[in-house]
Amino acid sequence: MVWQVIITHDGKYVLASNRGEDSIVVYRVLYPSGHLALASTHPAGGSFPRGMALVPGTYTLMVEGQSTGNLAVFSLSMEGVLAFTGQNVTGLPTPTAIAFAPSGSDSLHKVDPRVLDSNHMMSQVRI
């Protein structure tokens, strides 16, 4: 079951979380038609991927495993292939969404990820 669909900041890729297979599917957007072509499929890094988000302006993807209580970080290549970065935050209580908040004085370029859990509690995550 697809839970969330996001588009890269440059409109080149569409990513979808698949809760039934615990995977992330990457589609390349074909121009000018706008049709989608499968680029890659990758394990989500956790069970029951729910929330996912791209760090603003980048190809860095964060994916929450709702059942495993984790946040896994991936990089998306220019060819549309996801690679696990090795960054994985565990011990999150049923994460459901990811948001980004400005960090420090250079708020246009630095963001801190925040995770919303099923109890609507927001917590900052250090990656």
In a domain, 29, yes or no: yes
Does residue 71 sit within a domain?
yes
pLDDT recorded at residue 117: 59
- Specify if 108 maps to a domain: no
Q: Is residue 17 part of a domain?
A: yes
Q: Average pLDDT for residues 12-23, to the nearest whole number?
A: 93
Structure tokens at 125: 């995550």
The answer to the question of residue 28 being in a domain is yes
Name the domain count of the chain.
1
End-to-end CA distance of the chain: 28
Considering the domain boundaries, does residue 119 fall inside one?
Answer: no
Which comes out higher in pLDDT, residue 113 or 42?
42
Higher pLDDT residue, 99 or 48?
48
Q: pLDDT, tens digit, for every residue of 38-74?
A: 999 999 999 999 888 898 888 999 998 888 988 899 9
Whether 34 is in a domain gets the answer yes
Which residue range is the domain that position 84 belongs to?
Answer: 2-91
For residue 8, tell me if it sits in a domain: yes
